[in-house]
Structure 1
C-alpha cells in the first residue's frame, strides 16, 4: 500500500517542501496554527471533535516582509494531463450495454496495484448475481 500511496501523492512534493520550510522558520505556536495536526474532517465517531488551533499572538515571524532568494522550483518529472474517463451509451456499444470507464492515473507496474475480483451471490429466488471487477489489495 505504501507504493500506491506514493504513486498517488507524487504531486505533493512542493507541499512537503513548504511544510519543512515552515517548520524551520516559525515559532511553535505559529506552526501549530498554520499546519494543525487535525481539522474538522477528523471528527471521531464517538467523543468530542478536536479543538481548533489557537491563533498565535500578533507577532509576525522573523522572516515576514523580508525579501529572500527563492529556491528554484523543482521541475516536474511527469506532465499531468487530466482524466481519461469515458462513457459509451448502449446504442454505440457492441454489447448493447452502456459502458463507463475511468482510472486513477496509475502507471502499469509489477507487482500490480489491482487484483481481479469476482463475487457471485445467490438471491433468495435462486438467481445468481455476479459482480466482477478490480479491487485494491
Structure 2
C-alpha cells in the first residue's frame, strides 16, 4: 500500500451564476395589511439568500481549501467560469447547454497560462 504525496490540487467549479440584486430583505412587525405583504416579500428574499449561502460552491469553502493547500505547500488551482445565466442542474435545452460549454471553453482559453503551469507541475 504505497502512498505518494499530493503534488497539486485542481478544483473544478460548475460555473458562477450572474450576480442578481435582491429587492429587499426587511423582516419587521407588520402594522397594516400592506406591511404584511412587504413582510412576506422580505421573508422570501431572506429565504432565498440563506439557501444561496448554504449551497454556495464558492467563497468560504474555496478559501478554506486554498488555505489548507497553502499550509502544506501544495499548489491550488480553481477553475470556475462566470456564466451569463443561471443554468438549472436538470437543464435540457441544447441551446443553453451549448452556451454554457462555450463560456467554459472561452474561460479555459483565457487561462491557458495556468493550464501550462499545471502541466509543468504534473510533468515533474
Report the TM-score when normalising by structure 2: 0.28
Report the TM-score when normalising by structure 1: 0.26
- Pick the structure with greater CA Rg: 1
Structure number with the higher strand fraction is 1
Structure number with the higher helix fraction is 2
* Higher RCO structure (Cα 8 Å, ≥6 apart): 2
